Structure 1
Amino acid sequence: MKIIVPMAGRGSRLRPHTLTVPKPLIPIAGKPIVHRLVEDIAGVLNQQIEEIAFIIHKDFGKQVEKDLVSIAEKLGAKGTICYQNEALGTAHAIMCAKESMSGPIVVAYADTLFRADFTLDTSADSVIWVKQVDDPSAFGVVQLNKHNQIVDFVEKPKEFISDLAIIGIYYFKSGETLRKELQFLLDNNVVKGGEYQLTDALENMKQKGLKFVPGKVDEWMDCGNKNVTVETNTRMLNFLHQDGEKLISKVLVSENSTIIEPCFIGDNVVLKNTTIGPNVSLGTGCKVENSTIKNSLVQNLTVIKNANLDNAMIGSHVSFDGNFTSISIGDYSVLE
């Protein structure tokens, strides 16, 4: 099994955090979004992952490439770096990894996390991960027949057709078949809004009689902007805490401080006269003094003093000393 992860977008809705770090490498409960994503996919597939191909922009830099390869290797897979330097749509992005499109593959967009417990239907030509939503008009949805097969894909339906939203994760029994259909779009300039769309390839495959079925997830968590990313961090912390995962490092200095779980506390964190939690992630090497922090996400090597934070997101190497509460501060910022 191979996993293809298109992630070349700039993540503009999550600025300033994505000005220095690609969105899929923003940590959620102490681990990058894309790392959690491929781990969860591997868990659902229950198969050995042979290769993970990451599709990035060339400007992301060599350190990002090394980090992504390391994520793949931690799952026992080969990490491959592919480049998409023009935003020409989902189909074009996936084709940037065409050399990896052989055998069974999963395509997963790296701006979402999920929780699921279902058995992959490997007899199907494709499985599309979906989640039941209250307002389907805001999403692309699938329509099912009485045999639980997907018979239609509809983008942001104005009238109710289905409440099963496509979350951006797809399984294909044959990577070669998908590659052929995507190549057809590129060769024949089949575009919508100036972009090549994966849904056009799916529709062509369906018209040729290929069998599509849904894979329903229990939880779907977005990482699109600051508020929903902080909320996703909270939800993930609670899931992991319920699973019994150890989230607080033993390499911790705590003086006259309290931790209210669930929290993630990285290595070499120093707490003085501080209350942390619930629902807080503090990255490696942070120092917090005379502060109260809850429902917040703080990355690595940041210093916080005299703060009362709630629904805050703070990057790495930040120095913050102040009275603001619901803040969003990018890497290397200083507010004192």
Structure 2
Amino acid sequence: MKALVLSGGAGTRLRPITHTSAKQLVPVANKPVLFYGLEAIRDAGITDVGIIVGDTRAEIEAAVGDGSALGIKATYIHQEAPLGLAHCVLIARDFLGDDDFVMYLGDNFIIGGITDLVQEFVRCGADAQILLTKVDNPQQFGIAELDEEGRVVRLVEKPAQPRSDLALVGVYMFKPAIHQAVRAIRPSARGELEITDAIQWLVDNGYNVRSHFVNGYWKDTGRLEDMLECNRKVLETIEPACRGRVDAESRIIGRVVIEDGAVIERSTVRGPAIIGKGTKIIESYVGPFTSIYHDCVIERTEIEHSIILEATKIIGVSRIEDSLIGKEVEVAPSTALPRAHRLMLGDHSKVSIAY
């Protein structure tokens, strides 16, 4: 069995972070979202992994490499433009051959992995297996309709008037029949080959499409709120560890991970939280559900319920919370007169200023 991991999306809902970074590499608890999916695939016994890449190809390849560090063999497949999930299957035909495969969206997050789901697919002998979960906003997802006996009868991508609240989770399992399906369908109104249309083709042509309800935690990490929620979920499970240096004037409370080379001076860190390699926390308070990545400086600042990316400096800020701050950012008080907020922000930025 093989895996096809989709990592070519533009991540428009996480801009401006994703103007310069792949959305799949934004860290949750100091590990890129993509890595959680690749590890889940590996743990399910699948090591031959094709990765669909787009404009952020160089960044994805630099992070994953040949896959050996993650226990997989990575093959990269370039998608010239975001032409749909079914198009990804189409261009991966040579890699997939006639093997069964798991298709995994690289920005999706499932706690508990997919091992049981893969084993169930192998046992049941279906031509396709889709995962479903109830959502409050079905207009934003592919939606499945089931009959009275629980069989899949209709799938619609992002319907304006949903007839179901059952969203497709971003993990699919297919036998080779899907290749005929993706060749048979035509682009949707938004110009994409929709995987929902391909699965509908399987249903209409008498193939066995099985559904499975996801009872555990699943999240599409496309928005700030989703990233922060996933970060909370993972941090709640961490085991305390201190591989850095904490001075005698500092307090470490609860589940806190302090990674190699990190320094905590005259500060309080209240977990669950994780402090990345080479990061310095000086005269500051780091509150629960905060992940600070590598080589950052947090000085004379309070921060809570936030994700901070690498090499960022935050100095002399009274309070930050519910935030996602990108790489190599500098946040500091202005000393110039007249006293004013001075901002340089990219497109699609969001700023909330407390007076």
TM-score between both structures, scaled by the size of structure 1: 0.84
2-structure distance, mates of 1:329, 1:75: 35
2-structure distance, mates of 1:110, 1:87: 14
Partner SS state of residue 65, structure 2: helix
Q: Which residue of 1 aligns with 2:248?
A: none
Stretches of structure 2 that go unaligned for 5 or more consecutive residues are 241-253, 335-339, 347-355
1-structure distance, mates of 2:235, 2:344: 20
Correspondence 1:13-52 to 2 at 5 A: 13-43=13-43, 46=44, 48-52=45-49
1:75 maps to a residue whose letter is L
CA RMSD of the aligned region, Å?
Answer: 2.9
Q: Which residue of 1 aligns with 2:235?
A: 237
% identical aligned pairs = 29
- In the TM superposition, what is the alpha-carbon distance from 1:253 to its structure 2 partner? 1.1
- In the TM superposition, what is the alpha-carbon distance from 1:73 to its structure 2 partner? 2.3
2-structure distance, mates of 1:192, 1:11: 21
Correspondence 1:51-130 to 2 at 5 A: 51-57=48-54, 59-70=55-66, 72-102=67-97, 103-116=99-112, 119-120=116-117, 121=120, 122=122, 123=124, 124-130=126-132
Determine if the alignment matches structure 1 residue 266 to structure 2 residue 276: yes
Partner SS state of residue 203, structure 1: helix
Determine if the alignment matches structure 1 residue 183 to structure 2 residue 183: yes
More displaced, 129-138 or 309-318?
129-138
- In the TM superposition, what is the alpha-carbon distance from 1:30 to its structure 2 partner? 0.6
Contact 1:222/1:232 (<8 A) preserved: no
Determine if the alignment matches structure 1 residue 311 to structure 2 residue 322: yes
Contact 2:256/2:272 (<8 A) preserved: no
Contact 2:255/2:273 (<8 A) preserved: no
Q: Which stretches of structure 1, 4 residues or longer, exceed 6 Å deviation after superposition?
A: 327-330
Q: Which residue of 1 aligns with 2:246?
A: none
2-structure distance, mates of 1:61, 1:222: 21
Correspondence 1:86-235 to 2 at 5 A: 86-102=81-97, 103-116=99-112, 119-120=116-117, 121=120, 122=122, 123=124, 124-145=126-147, 147-156=149-158, 161-172=163-174, 174=175, 176-185=176-185, 189=186, 191-217=188-214, 218-235=216-233
1:199 maps to a residue whose letter is T
Correspondence 1:235-314 to 2 at 5 A: 235-240=233-238, 247-307=257-317, 308-314=319-325
Contact 2:312/2:327 (<8 A) preserved: yes
Q: Deviation string for 1:22-72 (max 9, x for gaps)?
A: 1111111111111112223444xx3x2122211112x425343132335x3
1-structure distance, mates of 2:344, 2:34: 21
- In the TM superposition, what is the alpha-carbon distance from 1:19 to its structure 2 partner? 1.6
- After superposition, the Cα gap between the structure-2 partners of 1:29 and 1:66, relative to the gap in structure 1 and judged at 3 Å, is same
TM-score between both structures, scaled by the size of structure 2: 0.80
Aligned residues: 318
Q: Which residue of 2 aligns with 1:333?
A: none
Contact 1:40/1:115 (<8 A) preserved: no
More displaced, 259-268 or 32-41?
32-41
More displaced, 161-170 or 222-231?
222-231
1-structure distance, mates of 2:171, 2:315: 41
